[in-house]
Structure 1
Amino acid sequence: MTPSIGKKIKALRKQRGWPIRLIAAQLDISIPAYSKIETGFTDVNISRLEQIAKIFDLSLVSLFTDCATTSTSSEEVSIVYEKLRTKQSQIIDLQKQLIKIHEEIRAFSASS
């Protein structure tokens, strides 16, 4: 996740006067884990971003734009949403490939 999204999430939380623990509880994660989201130190998947957007009563696209009140056509939203889904799918595929490579290395090491 880019630090700018984390900064936006933090700004939204502060605008509403909500403590970190409130958002962390709604996301069912620890306070340090949520803090890492706000500071950009952790990667966040689309599902988590959707949860965060829902908590703030925003569209997912609003988290990626400069202004939460930006009006966007439903077509633009659909395009961005589909791009996000595609990237998430690519990440999952790469993770599966990495697991397979690790398993092959482990099997090769065991047979040597």
Structure 2
Amino acid sequence: MTNEKFISVIGANIKQLRLAQAKGQTEVANALKISVAALSKIENGQTDINISRLAQIAKYFEVSVSSIISNEVTTSVSQNVVEEITELKQQLLDKDVEVMKLQKKVIDLYDKLGL
């Protein structure tokens, strides 16, 4: 892989992370203490990125540097999404059980009142 292609892949992975976390360029640029233009150039592969900046970005997005470099971003993001969906499904099931219990109580009350 050529150096330009490598930089382009890293930039695309960073952009993918940002979009997956529903963050705007301004928000991320401010957190990294760089300009929006500088972040845009990184994401578009128009500028080289040094290892310290890469480490800063990885820390911000809570992923490893190697995942950004090796294009494992989709895997880590997907895994986070799967875990979140699983947790939400469980919460929904718990609420469904509560609703069913409340419905039973209402039916029992109607029976007691003879309605």
TM-score by length of 1: 0.59
- How far, CA to CA, are the matches of 2:60 and 2:33 in structure 1? 12
- How far, CA to CA, are the matches of 2:71 and 2:38 in structure 1? 24
- How far, CA to CA, are the matches of 2:14 and 2:41 in structure 1? 11
Q: Deviations for 1:68-99, whole angstroms, at most 9, x for unmatched residues?
A: 347xxxxxxxxxxxxxxxxxxxxxxxxxxxxx
Runs of 5+ unmatched residues, structure 1: 71-112
Q: Which runs of 4+ in 1 moved over 6 A?
A: none
Instruction: Flag the structure with higher helix content.
Output: 2
User: What root-mean-square deviation, in Å, do the aligned CA atoms of Structure 1 and Structure 2 show?
Assistant: 1.4
> Does the 8 Å CA contact 2:10/2:69 hold for their aligned counterparts?
yes
> What corresponds to 2:16 in structure 1?
11
How far does residue 22 in structure 1 lie from its aligned partner after superposition? 0.8
> What corresponds to 2:110 in structure 1?
none
Query: Which of structures 1 and 2 has the bigger CA Rg?
Result: 2
Which structure's relative contact order is higher, taking Cα pairs within 8 Å and 6+ residues apart? 2
Q: Does residue 29 in structure 1 map to residue 34 in structure 2?
A: yes
> Does the 8 Å CA contact 2:14/2:43 hold for their aligned counterparts?
yes
- How far, CA to CA, are the matches of 1:67 and 1:58 in structure 2? 10
Secondary structure (helix, strand or coil) at the match of 1:2 reads: helix
Q: How many residues align?
A: 70
> What corresponds to 2:81 in structure 1?
none
Runs of 5+ unmatched residues, structure 2: 1-5, 77-115
Q: Does residue 47 in structure 1 map to residue 52 in structure 2?
A: yes
